[in-house]
Chains A and B, each alone.
Chain A
Amino acid sequence: MAEKKIRVLVAKVGLDGHDRGAKVLARFLRDAGFEVIYTGLHRTPQEVAMAAVEEDVDVVGISLHSGAHLALVPKVIRYIKEYGADPEEMLILVGGIIPEDDIPKLKELGVDEVFIPGTPISEIIDYIRENVRRKREARRMKVKE
């Protein structure tokens, strides 16, 4: 049984139209060997959540530059639950213009990590590899019980 490929949903939620970061990230992730699903612009939290569930992704990466993160990200997580999946099983990552103060708040709401502008993508890739592995192992253990 081959090691399952890492599937990442790169999502733009809300009205923010800046997609340079998300698109560059999607390319780099693909080059790193991941399967990447890019949602395109102007998605609602429901659409992002449903995509995350149907595509059974390991990682949900939300890119935001509009300041609406505290409103929109929790909604995505909520809808993932509503549509039947367990957000704990996924890595929920947020990237973009997020003020330092808001980072702990986001983490409390279920976000695993926040990446601010200037973070090398190689760092994000390493983070994903390590933590997806961690989550899968935790799941296997949970199931065994």
Chain B
Amino acid sequence: MNYDEEEVIEIVEGIFSGNKRALARAITYVENDYPEGKEIMRRIHSKTGKAHVIGLTGFPGVGKSTIVSKLTQEFRMREKKVGIIAVDPGSPFTGGALLGDRLRMDGFDVNRNLWVDPGVFFRSMSSRGRAGGLAAKTGDVVRLMDAFGFDVILVETVGAGQSEVDIVEVADTSVVILMPEVGDDIQINKAGILEIGDIYVVNKADLEGADKTARWLKAMLMMDEGSVEILSQTTHADEARVQSGEIFEGLKKGWVPPVIKTIADKGKGIKELADAIEDHHKFMIESGMLEDRRKRRIKRELFELVMEEVKKMIKTEMNYKEIIQRILKGELDPHTAAEEIVRRLVRA
């Protein structure tokens, strides 16, 4: 399928000259697999890699959108331009989606109106009930915003399943937002939550259980191998040094995810969060981990894209339905079938 050259040129020029409408249109092309989309991505790629990409996730109701809004304000005060992508689940049945996070942004009579601030761009995206391919799409949108010139890009997702974990890995810094847990049984052991965050936030920290939740988190996060090793050798006499964290100072300095308490509604803790994000960014660059992470990301994306291409090819060039039938009937085994398919693809 052929793309419209004039359109592509206009959009790319628009992106490089800070035209919001061009960026918005480019995102639409990319999201919907227009041929213009791929071509635009080709042409802007060289201008990407500068922005700090921050992923924010958390269950519905924790206050993510408010935090995104307040963080945006904070970064604007630090003279950073902010792009925001809010990923909402769409209905897998109707394909429709109610994308609502825009609303939390302060507008109206507040001195800093984020809705119309030229240094802020907010785009809602529906995850359309599909898990695969979402990371690549979001990655593209991030790169578009990067090329546009945003210093910080916030990717906000609803944390409720595997796809959202993928999203967080699209980011340089991932922030996991939680609410205080009440009761003796701390439930924060949902799959993967403790592994994916670079920074943890306990929002609505004025509620009961906030301190307990934060302390528990801190304790769990310290349980990396090195720390466990050290802790296993401590005695009662070392108690004070354990509490203060002094005992870990000998350790090779990794990044221990900080736990930050916020009351986003009132703007409390936001500065600390922004500081932690900037600290993490610095750490990533200095330690070389940023490059590692991006390499991993690119690898994953590349494979995702290759798989998409391969799938497309299989669907159009091969009678794969017949192959499936044959496997079902026992005439062919899946391994042989796969090898045969690859051979045919290579020849094609």
Do A and B contact each other directly (Cβ–Cβ < 8 Å)?
yes
Which residues on A are within 8 Å of B, measured CB to CB?
A: 1-2, 4-5, 26-27, 29-40, 42-44, 46-47, 50-51, 53-56, 83-85, 143-144
Q: Is the CB of B25 within 8 A of A5?
A: no
Chain A residues, CB < 8 A from B188: none
Give the Cβ gap from A35 to chain B, nearest Cβ, in Å: 5
- Contacts A4-B32, A31-B94 given; indicate if A37 touches B102 (C-beta within 8 A): yes
Other-chain residue from B90, B113, B124 in contact with A55 (beta carbon distance below 8 A): B124
Interface residues of B in 67-117 (CB under 8 A from A): 90-91, 94-100, 102-103, 107-108, 113, 115-116
Give the Cβ gap from A41 to chain B, nearest Cβ, in Å: 9
Q: Is the CB of B121 within 8 A of A26?
A: no
Q: Is the CB of A85 within 8 A of B21?
A: yes
Asked if B247 CB lies within 8 Å of chain A CBs, one says no
Most A C-beta atoms less than 10 A away, residue of B20, B90, B113? B20
Give the Cβ gap from B123 to chain A, nearest Cβ, in Å: 6
Please name the 10 residue pairs, one residue from A and one from B, whose CB atoms are nearest each other, closest first. A84-B21, A30-B96, A56-B24, A47-B115, A40-B103, A4-B32, A33-B96, A33-B95, A85-B21, A56-B28
Chain B residues, CB < 8 A from A143: 4, 6-7
Asked if B291 CB lies within 8 Å of chain A CBs, one says no
Distance A68 CA – B24 CA, assembled complex (angstroms) = 29
- Contacts A33-B96, A83-B21, A84-B21 given; indicate if A56 touches B32 (C-beta within 8 A): no
Q: Specify the chain A residue showing the minimal Cβ separation from B31.
A: A4
**Contact indicator per residue, chain B 1-21, by CB within 8 Å of chain A (1) or not (0):** 100101100000010000111
Chain B residues, CB < 8 A from A30: 91, 94, 96-98
- Contacts A4-B28, A32-B94 given; indicate if A50 touches B115 (C-beta within 8 A): yes
24 contacts between A and B (CB under 8 A): A5-B32, A5-B95, A5-B126, A29-B96, A30-B91, A31-B91, A35-B96, A37-B100, A37-B124, A38-B100, A38-B103, A43-B107, A44-B108, A46-B116, A50-B20, A51-B102, A53-B20, A54-B121, A54-B122, A55-B123, A83-B20, A84-B14, A84-B20, A143-B4
Chain B residues, CB < 8 A from A40: 102-103
Q: Specify the chain B residue showing the minimal Cβ separation from A40.
A: B103
Other-chain residue from A36, A42, A56 in contact with B99 (beta carbon distance below 8 A): A36
Give the Cβ gap from A15 to chain B, nearest Cβ, in Å: 10
